[in-house]
Amino acid sequence: MSATPATKALERAKVAFVTHTYEHDPKHESYGLEAAERLGLDPGTVFKTLVADLDGKLTVAIVPVERQLDLKALAAAVKAKKAQMADVKQAERTTGYVAGGISPLGQRKALPTVIDESARAHGTIHVSGGRRGLEVELAPDDLARLTRAAFAPISR
């Protein structure tokens, strides 16, 4: 398995992490739920990386795959007035990853990041490793430190 910008960022930071790979099925409806199913993980520990547009500024939201991003809560967390999902092509260009494989780590341009507070209930969580079929497992506090993220209740 070749390294991705996400795994390289973790190695550079000397953060403990474990990679998990699975064969991605392009027909699956949800990238995140597919990861949980294929790897036999509790969906509450698998988090998806979403890019939202808050007052014209892209922001990363990390929420459990079994839940939905609450755009109003995300806007409140960063003191923005208006929140909507970012254009997929813009999210891909800005992060350097393709949709379904967007990692919160090793992005082309570091974006403000908010992690759902439910992550703190777990010793480790899983996020995209930078491509479809690759998850990285790490401590929520390590993820927050590396992405300069805040924790907030942003899912429903």
Domains within the chain, CATH numbers bracketed: 5-152 (3.90.960.10)
Give CA–CA dist 65/112, Å, rounded.
Answer: 20
Give CA–CA dist 52/28, Å, rounded.
Answer: 23
Q: Does residue 26 register a pLDDT over 90?
A: no
What percent of the chain clears pLDDT 90, i.e. is strictly above it? Answer: 79
pLDDT of residue 24: 79
Q: What is the mean pLDDT of residues 7-12?
A: 95
State pLDDT tens for residues 102-145: 999 999 999 999 999 999 999 999 999 998 889 999 999 999 99
Q: Does residue 29 register a pLDDT over 90?
A: no
Give CA–CA dist 66/86, Å, rounded.
Answer: 20
Q: Does residue 2 register a pLDDT over 80?
A: no
Q: Are 146 and 9 in contact (CB under 8 A)?
A: yes
Q: How confident is the model at residue 1 (pLDDT cuts 50, 70, 90)?
A: low
Q: What is the mean pLDDT of residues 76-83?
A: 95
